[in-house]
Amino acid sequence: MSDPLLVYLIDDDRDLLRATKQTLELAGFTVSAFSVTSDALACLDAKQAGAVVSDIRMPQIDGLQLFDRVREEDEDLPVILVTGHGDIPMAVRAIQDGAYDFITKPFATDKLVQAVRRALEKRRLVLENRALRQAADESRDDLPLIGQTPTMERLRRTLRQIADTEVDVLVTGETGSGKEVVASLLHRWSRRASGNFVALNCGALPETVMESELFGHEAGAFTGAQKRRVGRIEYASGGTLFLDEIESMAPSTQVQMLRVLEMREVTPLGTNEVRPVDLRVVAAAKVDLSDPEQRKDFREDLYYRLNVVTISIPPLRERRDDIPLLFGHFAERAAARFKRDVPAISSAVHRHFRDHDWPGNVRELSHFAERFVLGVEELSPNTRLVAPDIDEPLSLPERMDRYESSIICEALDANHGDVRRTIAALGIPRKTFYDKLQRHGIVRSRFAASKSEPL
């Protein structure tokens, strides 16, 4: 969210309204103040709103009625109620009905600032999650090749340009980057979509059965061949044959595959009959076949025969801006599969998106999303040890909060969660230490060497 979220402040006491507005603005917030509730409701923009702070006791429309009206506009918009001591039971009931928080008069300005800051962080995450879901919905036609980075947009354009041609395609990319997804889309977007999409992992089958799998056999062609079998190549006729990890194909099979690509015909084992095939071949490799050192014993002529068009899929770490969108898609899919709600994406998860290298690429991210939905994903405590990012549009107090949080986490990590040693290292009282843990949402046990350590 690049635009600052607006705090709507409502209080019929004009002097208190003016003082509170000044306090929040000094803390770095953008504030729109109203002394009349109806004026606030008329100006409320749920797309821009970050939080509502309202006194309960007001003429005409009181704070509780305001809360009900805000819920009708957007039930996830946080509302903080300011109460007198006599209004506490009403505020508690409002909390039970979904109000975000309440603060009793007279209140310390720091308490209000922290409550607003937490509310805005929650609101920011809610709006980010909504944006991710909307972007995923808008990308349904291109699923599961999701991405809004220029690299992915170019990749989709290229696939659509060549999908309806008859050229063979070589797809390169790291493990888990989505090579089969690309092959499947080439098939689905082509005029061959009504035919079969036949996938074969060349590294998963031993050489002794690879020839039979690819070319098929007649009954009695070898010991155990009790009936005729149609090979993968012939079965893919009229459609697309996807050969994954083609660099693992045995040299003897490479010779036969070269003839298939040149002549578009197969001869099953146990017969001299030559059968024509009409297919498109999409091959995938996780190594650079243009490099002789990486190609090793893979035939050069077969490489050039396959290399009519080469599609290179970038690793996930080179398109980090796509990670939240991809994660949103995988989390929604996992939630439907496991019949769970998708939890809110916390700041720690967003930091993990940014800081992790994702060696397993899209496949690793998909598994991470499944664990996240199931509630079994434990992020390392070190994911909290992140210095403030000066490029983020944060106020000075927000940057100071992040910096303070990182210092506390570093001290906890260095002392393995031991409270006494951490307090000594930080040079602060025990009560202040625990207040700051609660304020920053830091879980001390994550840093502890043993959960049985005394507090």
User: 401 and 362 in one domain?
Assistant: no
Here the tokens at position 55 are 């006194």
User: The domain that contains 51 carries what CATH number?
Assistant: 3.40.50.2300
User: 324 and 440 in one domain?
Assistant: no
User: 182 and 221 in one domain?
Assistant: yes
The predicted-structure confidence for 244-280, as pLDDT tens digits, reads as follows: 999 999 888 899 999 999 999 998 888 888 899 999 9
Q: Is the pLDDT confidence value at 8 over 90?
A: yes
User: 417 and 283 in one domain?
Assistant: no
DSSP bridge pairs for 49: 6
The predicted-structure confidence for 377-434, as pLDDT tens digits, reads as follows: 766 544 433 333 434 455 666 677 777 877 888 788 778 788 888 888 888 888 888 8
User: 77 and 29 in one domain?
Assistant: yes
Residue 175 lies in a domain: yes
Residue 335's domain comprises 319-374
Residue 455 lies in a domain: no
DSSP output for 280-315 = EEEEEESS-TTSHHHHTTS-HHHHHHHTTEEEEPPP
DSSP output for 354-396 = HH---TTHHHHHHHHHHHHHHT-----GGGG-----TTS---H
Q: Stretch 231-246: mean pLDDT, rounded?
A: 93
Q: Stretch 348-356: mean pLDDT, rounded?
A: 83
Residue 1 lies in a domain: no
Packing angle of the helix pair 179-188, 150-163 (nearest 10 deg) = 40
Domain end: 350, 374, 398, which one? 374
Per the CB < 8 A criterion, the answer to whether 250 and 212 are in contact is: no
Give the count of domains, the chain.
Answer: 4
Looking at residue 132, its pLDDT comes to 65
272 burial via Cβ count (<10 Å: 0-12, 13-18, 19+): exposed
Q: How far apart are CA 262 and CA 299, in angstroms?
A: 14
Domain end: 75, 108, 137, which one? 137
DSSP bridge pairs for 33: 9
pTM above 0.75, yes or no: no
> DSSP class of residue 55?
E
| pLDDT above 90 as % of the chain | 30
Lowest mean pLDDT segment, chosen from 42-46, 216-220, 423-427: 216-220
Q: Is the pLDDT confidence value at 2 over 70?
A: no
Q: Stretch 52-71: mean pLDDT, rounded?
A: 88
User: 275 and 161 in one domain?
Assistant: yes
Q: Is the pLDDT confidence value at 342 over 90?
A: no
66 burial via Cβ count (<10 Å: 0-12, 13-18, 19+): buried
Here the tokens at position 20 are 């509170």
Here the tokens at position 427 are 């040079």
